[in-house]
Structure 1
Amino acid sequence: MVFILADDLGYGDVGSNGQKLIATPHLDKLAKSGIRFTQFYAGTSVCAPSRASLMTGLHTGHTPVRGNFEIEPEGQFPIPDSTFTMAKMFQQAGYATGLFGKWGLGFPGSEGEPVRQGFSQFYGYNCQRQSHNFFPDHLWENDQRVPLPNTFLHQEQYAADLIQKKAVSFLQNNRNHPFFLYMAFTLPHASLQLPKGDKAFDAYKQKFKEAPQPIRPGWQGIGYEPQPYPRAAYAAMVSRLDQYVGELVHELKRLGLEKNTLIVFTSDNGPHLEGGNDPEFFQSSGGLRGKKRDLYEGGIRVPMFAAWPSVIKAGAESSQVGAIWDFLPTFAQLVGQPVPKRGDGVSLLPTWFGKGKQLQHPFLYWEFHEDGGRQAVRIGDWKGVRLGVLKNRHAPIQLFNLANDPAEKHDISATHPEVVQRIARLMEQEHVEIASFPFWR
């Protein structure tokens, strides 16, 4: 099992979803070799809570982590030791479990560390804030800090390259044993940084005829590194992500594991605006409204495809409505483990395999704790969005019909008060207040 999670990759950033300016040949080939979902959603519109939703099979009204709660000097609010995670489930099934990339669900030494949450091997960034720098002065291997020779003046080792090498070694070392590889790439999240000599970066500069942008002098390594060629850099980072995925698929083939390995690819939320990125230029949201931090479709609808030769039909496309919290029950069914009683997901295996009856979500729910607080609910084709929740838990709800208006341009709440009332009841019902991430103030 190889689960690949991109970081801030928009629905429209891959060729299989209509991207025209950025080349993603390996991802497009992977999508065509399996089933591609057109209505799949992240846990919410920022990193930590979306990843908590992935690990727990719970939507963000139920997850133990619901925001990017920073811990100094390094790390985020930890998921509790008692949490049943996807990694623990795979361990119970006898799988070797490896996480390579970004965690963000528990600071070093906390109960939320990866090695305490079901991963037998971890290499990468514990802290999502640290991962904003692709040339960090350290990474983590299991619970040990690994110093690197990087400084902001001397950028020698590109962290994504180091992480990729560790992941390939994990495949090689477990070729004769069932494994769950969670590949949590940090690309294409800002900063917009690339290693020296990146050929795609130079090629995109020429392709876009991009003039260098003025940047503030005297950057001292704090915050996102200024990037004079942000469009070329973002495109090159997406292409580099594509390259890494191609290398993993190639290694599976080389090891003779391709036919017995399920590969799933998705993203943690919509495209970002940080570090000079220009998602409008690339149509990164795929024509949908919103970006990262929005609960409109562009902030939470993400690319997703699953490939497994001879098991999942190649070239399939599905409009099945799914969400990142569906993966835990899906994988539990796949490896014969009991599905947690307290969960919000449904197994997607009937759709993936084309066999059996696919259960449908009666609704999907999201919440977001920044920018005044937001909630969203989808029931069938109805989508409700509420803004300003932290000040007014009964703020007006915008209503859209995604079948007729996927870009959410027309608020039709005034003409469908009964639907609005139904969505309001679900927003009240599905948010379970917890002291660590209070919503109502």
Structure 2
Amino acid sequence: MNRTFGRKQLVSTLGLISLAAVMPAPKSLYAQTIKSKQPNIIFILTDDQGYGDVGVFFQHQREKEGKPFERSPYLDQLAKSGAMLTDQYSAAPVCAPSRASLMLGVSQGHANVRDNEFDRAIDSNYTMASTLKSLGYQTVAIGKWGLQGATPWDVNGNDWNARPTNRGFDQFFGYMRHMDGHEHYPKEALYFPEHTPIEVWDEGKNITAELDKCYTPDLWTAYAKKWITQYEKSVQKDKPFFMYLAFETPHAVLELPTEAYPQGQGLKGGLQWLGRPGHMINTATGTPDSYMHPDYANATYDDDNDPSTPQVSWPDTYKRYAMSNRRIDYCVGDLMALLKDLKIDDNTIVVFTSDNGPSIEDYLPKGYAHVKPTFFASYGPFDGIKRDNWEGGVRMPVIAAWPGHIPAGQVISSPSVSYDWAPTFIQAAGSVPPERMDGRSLLAELTGHPKKQLVSLIYNEYYFHGNTPGFKEFAPGHRNRLRDQMQLMRLDSFVAVRYNIQSAGDDFEIYNVVTDPGERVNLASQPEKTVKINMNAPLTEPVRTIAELQDYFKARVLQVRRPEKWAKRPYDSALVPAVAQLKEVKKGELLSGLSWKFFKGAYSWIPQTSTLQPAEKGVCSPADLTTRELPGTDQKKLRQAGILALDGYISVPRDGRYTFYLKTASPCFMRLHDMQLIDDDFGYQGVSDKVASVFLKAGLHPLHLFIKQDASQADQSAGANKSTAALQLSWSGPEFSRRPLKKTDLFYLK
């Protein structure tokens, strides 16, 4: 059998179901342990903060070694009260694509914002915010957005088509444009006067003129505290809220606050929103870019590694960097105190993380030393920084707290990725996410049920024509490496990385990042070395050697993505490997047709279904699909609202380009392997051909097709003539024109 690989679970689909807010949540194959009402959710995202910048992740180790270190006491406390996720990846090593994947719940193989596409309009599809809103949440975004699209918001009524309030948020306060996030005093614009006017938007109005001396981390936090406090006093207080709090620090200009953090915390202390133009928050006093915390003001270090010589003062650049991170720490502590004061901390999920690794882009004026993340080892025990697919560019400091649900002091080392959070929040809200999302809910492991945890799909592709810095702290093979086209995938303990990709056949560098976090030993040079990874999927064999793992990664990265026309890759036209050749499958193992499952319910979107119990199931031929008269069950049971999920394999006769045509009378979604081939769920376009082309190798390819039927369509179907086509699936290939799929094309596993 050819050693090529498909989806981890080929017969079932990955996923989670979501119902309308008025519908009860479906019963899952593993019971949800949450007994409380829907929790509030606060997602805190920093900008360019490295894994190593947080005390409990790495800075405590620096302190023990007598090296310059940063302090983060409130984040450390947050970690003690909940869980540290030590092996979570960002979706991309730079801001815009990372945030787009986070919000959409999809990998960079399916996101429409890739590479360095700052201010590109995020896809009009299901988002973290829109799904939660449909489940009854009040939603608010605060801070940096940068995914709104290029069209300016002006007095003539034109607007950014992908502004937050068009992607599921009820309210937005913050920087709409990416470039504005380079400056942390919007009115004074101390270091970016050429980019003025800088704009802070509040419910459709630019209020920058009112923001004298407002340091943005303080501004966003004061607004967040004000919003939560007012919300908890409102008539809506019994309705849960979702807050996306996106800092734009420590990214860009390393500006300082106006003054020390205000005394106290929470409801009556700390940062406060005053709401007076010119004095909007209680730290809008003193001198902008002036305050340095005493922990850093007089800090010294051994600059020459000679204890016999006097220590010298930290360079001002690094004092500023430490101060920027410390201010975020104070803001988080203040926010957590507010939740406790309002007595909502026990029913609020708080997640803290960063968008990508640390940067060398400080944007300080002449006279300042440029920041190097080596001073604090901001990349932690790894190599790589922002724009790198080495671990330091994509491994994030992640903390999740939910008192009474997430056990305190937990350390989770299972691999996960940032686009897992949207599914996690949806499940915590009592429902399950769309099939469109690539992420897996992390709720099982977070709440102490690791055996029930789905495996995360960790995939990243990125282009940047630059080099990894030549820091002496990095492995010689990583220094000054040309990045260009890059890919990353993680499986179990192993990470596969490619830089400067020329073709789909390029070998991956393979590292065991559990035993070798610095990626010093490239296991690809030891092809016969044995490994133990059971793929646990039909028609595949366990991976036994590094050579077989190399084959797996080369196949898998083509099976989980779709090309994007404005983010060209050298492997876009590569043939997607099959999972097996038909002639090599054991006789009787595959039968002609497809297996199907019917999930009864009034669904808001096409759900992922792997954790759900079907109401009906059976097998069918391609001809059965056109009338929806599926054999082996009472047809009346299928004429109800619900989801029809079809699974099997399509037999591709020869290598080449194939085009699929799908027509349904209701929303549909189709995958080959894990690639999203046809998505006609969100914003269903009606009964018309949905067309998608893909390059395929000859052999068997897993097919997963989902069709959503609501109550009105079910009633129509019940009285329809059997000749009325409910589903039409056809294809064309290198040697044949468009035709319906036949029973000799489709197979299911016996």
Q: TM-score, normalised by structure 2?
A: 0.53
> Could you tell me which of 539, 542, 551 is aligned with 1:421?
551
Query: What RMSD, in angstroms, separates the aligned Cα atoms of the two structures?
Result: 2.2
Distance 1:196 1:92, change over 3 A: same
The code of the aligned residue for 1:148 comes to A
CA contact (8 A) 1:388 1:395 kept: no
CA contact (8 A) 2:172 2:202 kept: yes
Say whether residues 1:241 and 2:328 are aligned partners.
yes
Say whether residues 1:196 and 2:238 are aligned partners.
no
Question: How do 1:283-322 and structure 2 match up within 5 A?
Answer: 283-322=377-416
Distance 1:168 1:197, change over 3 A: closer
Give the 3-state SS of the residue equivalent to 1:240 in structure 2: helix
Deviations 1:372-407 (A, max 9, x none): 121011111121111113x54544421212232111
Deviates more, 1:233-242 or 1:55-64: 55-64
Deviations 1:182-230 (A, max 9, x none): 111112112111123455445413113699xxxxxxxxxxxxxxxx711
Give the equivalent residue in structure 2 for 1:231.
Answer: 318
Give the equivalent residue in structure 1 for 2:179.
Answer: 129
Say whether residues 1:23 and 2:32 are aligned partners.
no
Say whether residues 1:331 and 2:421 are aligned partners.
no
> Could you tell me which of 147, 150, 156 is aligned with 2:213?
156
CA distance in 2 between partners of 1:323 and 1:386 (Å): 19
Q: CA deviation at 1:297?
A: 0.7
> Could you tell me which of 247, 270, 282 is aligned with 1:185?
247
Say whether residues 1:9 and 2:53 are aligned partners.
no
Q: CA deviation at 1:121?
A: 1.1
CA distance in 2 between partners of 1:27 and 1:181 (Å): 18
CA distance in 2 between partners of 1:397 and 1:96 (Å): 44
Structure 2: stretches of 5+ with no match in the other structure: 1-40, 64-68, 153-158, 187-197, 261-290, 304-314, 363-369, 466-483, 528-546, 573-750
Say whether residues 1:166 and 2:208 are aligned partners.
no
> Could you tell me which of 188, 203, 214 is aligned with 1:142?
203
Give the 3-state SS of the residue equivalent to 1:265 in structure 2: strand
> Could you tell me which of 200, 203, 208 is aligned with 2:300?
208
Give the equivalent residue in structure 2 for 1:252.
Answer: 339
Which has the greater radius of gyration?
A: 2
Give the equivalent residue in structure 1 for 2:721.
Answer: none
Deviations 1:41-97 (A, max 9, x none): 111110111111111111111112112324xxxxx110133x110100111111111
The code of the aligned residue for 1:347 comes to S
Give the 3-state SS of the residue equivalent to 2:520 in structure 1: coil
CA contact (8 A) 1:249 1:258 kept: yes
Give the equivalent residue in structure 2 for 1:91.
Answer: 133
Give the equivalent residue in structure 1 for 2:493.
Answer: 381
Distance 1:362 1:196, change over 3 A: closer
Give the equivalent residue in structure 2 for 1:224.
Answer: none
Give the equivalent residue in structure 1 for 2:562.
Answer: 432
> Could you tell me which of 120, 133, 152 is aligned with 1:77?
120
CA contact (8 A) 1:363 1:380 kept: no
Deviations 1:403-438 (A, max 9, x none): 321110121212223222211112222331122333
The code of the aligned residue for 1:388 comes to N
Identity %: 36
CA contact (8 A) 1:9 1:269 kept: yes
CA distance in 1 between partners of 2:509 and 2:323 (Å): 37
Question: How do 1:34-45 and structure 2 match up within 5 A?
Answer: 34-45=82-93
Distance 1:156 1:356, change over 3 A: closer
Give the equivalent residue in structure 1 for 2:534.
Answer: none
Give the equivalent residue in structure 1 for 2:672.
Answer: none
Structure 1: stretches of 5+ with no match in the other structure: 71-75, 212-227
Q: Which has the higher strand share?
A: 2
CA contact (8 A) 1:399 1:412 kept: yes
Give the 3-state SS of the residue equivalent to 1:180 in structure 2: strand
CA distance in 2 between partners of 1:11 and 1:23 (Å): 14
Give the equivalent residue in structure 2 for 1:68.
Answer: 116
CA distance in 2 between partners of 1:188 and 1:315 (Å): 27
Q: Which has the higher helix share?
A: 1
CA distance in 2 between partners of 1:427 and 1:189 (Å): 31
CA distance in 2 between partners of 1:8 and 1:39 (Å): 17
Give the equivalent residue in structure 2 for 1:407.
Answer: 518
Distance 1:358 1:322, change over 3 A: farther
Give the 3-state SS of the residue equivalent to 2:568 in structure 1: coil
Q: TM-score, normalised by structure 1?
A: 0.89
Q: CA deviation at 1:330?
A: 0.8
CA distance in 1 between partners of 2:451 and 2:203 (Å): 41
CA distance in 1 between partners of 2:44 and 2:259 (Å): 26
CA distance in 1 between partners of 2:254 and 2:349 (Å): 31
Counting matched residue pairs gives 415
Q: CA deviation at 1:105?
A: 1.1
Deviations 1:281-313 (A, max 9, x none): 101111111111111111111111111112211
CA contact (8 A) 2:86 2:411 kept: yes
